[in-house]
């Protein structure tokens, strides 16, 4: 596995990979890798692509109240995992490469970026879309892999790719869960033992809501019931909603492609999750 830190090195390494593989697959990450990232790399490798993972903790997607310096970093551990998962190349750019001092361009997504995480974290999707567009331009991969865990992010990236006619196929990879249903996330490490024991309630509430909705119950009452159940369990619910899976607009009845999305705080940790509901 090759490790590169500058754009000229990246270009040379991608050109060399192109000579040996039919396609390049990009897995963008911010490090702190877990089995969820492993599933993204596995999907790329299984698709026959030479796989390039990027590790860049993107300052542009952190709000002023979010602690960028506290974001977990473990370069050596991440590299060992990527090697074991079959990654061919790791791109580790510095901030000065991604955001040169004279840089003047950003992507400002609307549509699926509005509401939910977009409302809770102003500027977040501007940061995500901008860095992902840069990574697409730098690597030039034919396919890129994103986790369904960040469902809204996946739709923002898909919309950007369609709107800007970017020559990359965006593949969503199903959420990897702990045996008790908790979606894997780099934030889970911040849960106390008691919070960790309660955290799977979030997925249970989503599953129960999906089942009740499938039986024909009214969305508004299902969402009110599950929100109250989460609050009784100690969650501060930011949102629990039934949305169209592509536009992220709230809907009042299940339909194909619908998604149940949730964000809730357990102590100091903000968890998000989603499941299909239609
Ligand atoms: O999902 C993430 O880890 C990040 O938002 C991404 C896509 C790597 C962009 O920084």
Q: Domain residues of the chain, as ranges?
A: 2-173, 186-272
What is the model's pLDDT at position 195? 98
Annotation says 203 is catalytic: no
11-20 per-position pLDDT tens digit: 999 999 999 9
Characterise 161 by phi-psi region: left (phi > 0), alpha (psi -120 to 50), beta (else). Answer: alpha
Residue (of 92, 102, 85) closest to 43 by Cα position: 85
**CATH number for region 2-173:** 3.40.50.620
Q: DSSP H helical segments within 215-251, as ranges?
A: 219-232
Q: Is 98 in the pocket of ligand 1 (CB under 6 A)?
A: no
Minimum CA distance residue for ligand 1 atom 2: 29
In angstroms, what is the span from residue 57 Cα to ligand 1's centroid? 8
How confident is residue 26, by pLDDT bands cut at 50, 70 and 90? Answer: very high
The residue nearest atom 3 of ligand 1, judged by CA position, is 29
Element (H, E) at 190: none
Compute the distance between CA of residue 201 and CA of residue 206 in angstroms, rounded to an integer. 9
> Can you spell out the DSSP letters for 47-94?
TTPEEEEEE---GGGS-TTS-GGGS---HHHHHHHHHHHT--EEE---
Q: Nearest C-alpha to atom 6 of ligand 1 is from which residue?
A: 29
Length, in residues, of the chain: 278
Instruction: Tell me what percent of the residues of the chain surpass a pLDDT of 90.
Output: 98
Atom of ligand 1 nearest to the CA of 157: 7
Q: Do domains 2-173 and 186-272 have the same CATH topology?
A: no
What is the atom index within ligand 1 of the atom nearest the CA of 57? 10
Say how far apart CA 240 and CA 226 lie, in whole Å: 8
- CA 240 to chain centroid: 18
Pocket test for ligand 1, best of 26, 27, 29 (most atoms within 8 A of CB): 29
Which class in CATH covers the domain with range 186-272?
alpha beta
Q: Cα–Cα–Cα angle for 125, 131, 132, nearest 5°? A: 85
Q: Which residues contact 269 (CB under 8 A, 6 or more apart)?
A: 187, 188, 190, 191, 195
**Per-residue pLDDT, 263:** 98
Instruction: Please report the pLDDT score of residue 67 as a whole number.
Output: 85
Question: Which tens digits make up the pLDDT trace of 166-203?
Answer: 999 999 999 999 999 999 999 999 999 999 999 999 99
Q: Going by C-beta distance under 8 Å and a sequence separation of 6 or more, which residues neighbour residue 218?
A: 252, 253
Task: Give the model's pLDDT for residue 234.
Answer: 97
Distance between Cα 128 and ligand 1 center (Å): 6
Residue 29 Cβ < 6 Å to ligand 1: yes
d(CA 28, CA 127): 13
What pLDDT score was predicted for residue 192?
98
Check if 54 has its Cβ closer than 6 Å to any atom of ligand 1. Answer: no
Three-state DSSP class for residue 146: strand
**Coil, strand or helix at 22:** coil
Element holding 269 (H helix, E strand): strand 269-276
Alpha carbons 77 and 88: distance in angstroms, whole number: 16
Q: Is the CB of 130 under 6 A from ligand 1?
A: no
Ligand 1 pocket, residue 30 CB under 6 Å: yes
Determine the average pLDDT of the residues in 243-265: 97
The reply to whether ligand 1 has any atom less than 6 angstroms from the CB of 93 is no
Going by pLDDT thresholds of 50, 70 and 90, the confidence category of residue 40 is very high
C-alpha span between 44 and 42 (Å, rounded):
5
Q: Is 150 in the pocket of ligand 1 (CB under 6 A)?
A: yes
């Amino acid at each position: 596995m090759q490790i590169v830190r500058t754009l000229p090195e990246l270009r040379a390494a991608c050109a060399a990979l192109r000579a040996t593989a039919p396609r390049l697959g990009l897995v963008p990450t911010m490090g702190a890798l877990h089995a969820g990232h492993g599933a993204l790399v596995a999907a790329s490798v299984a698709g026959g692509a030479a796989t390039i993972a990027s590790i860049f903790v993107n300052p542009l997607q952190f709000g002023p109240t979010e602690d960028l310096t506290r974001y977990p970093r473990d370069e050596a551990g991440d590299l060992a995992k990527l090697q074991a998962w079959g990654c061919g190349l790791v791109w580790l750019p510095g901030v000065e490469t991604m955001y040169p001092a004279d840089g003047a361009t950003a992507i400002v997504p609307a549509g699926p970026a509005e509401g939910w995480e977009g409302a809770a974290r102003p500027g977040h999707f501007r940061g995500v879309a901008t860095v992902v567009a840069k990574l697409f331009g730098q690597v030039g991969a034919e396919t890129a892999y994103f986790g369904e865990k960040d469902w809204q992010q996946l739709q923002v990236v898909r919309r950007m790719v369609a709107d800007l006619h970017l020559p990359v196929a965006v593949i969503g990879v199903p959420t990897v869960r702990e045996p008790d249903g908790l979606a894997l996330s780099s934030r889970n490490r911040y849960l106390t033992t008691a919070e960790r024991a309660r955290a799977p309630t979030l997925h249970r509430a989503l599953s129960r809501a999906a089942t009740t909705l499938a039986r024909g119950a009214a969305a508004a009452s299902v969402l009110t019931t599950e929100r109250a159940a989460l609050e009784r369990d100690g969650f501060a619910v930011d949102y629990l909603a039934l949305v169209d899976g592509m536009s992220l607009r709230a809907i009042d009845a299940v339909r194909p492609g619908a998604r149940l999305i949730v964000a809730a705080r357990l102590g100091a940790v903000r968890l998000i999750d989603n499941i299909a509901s239609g």
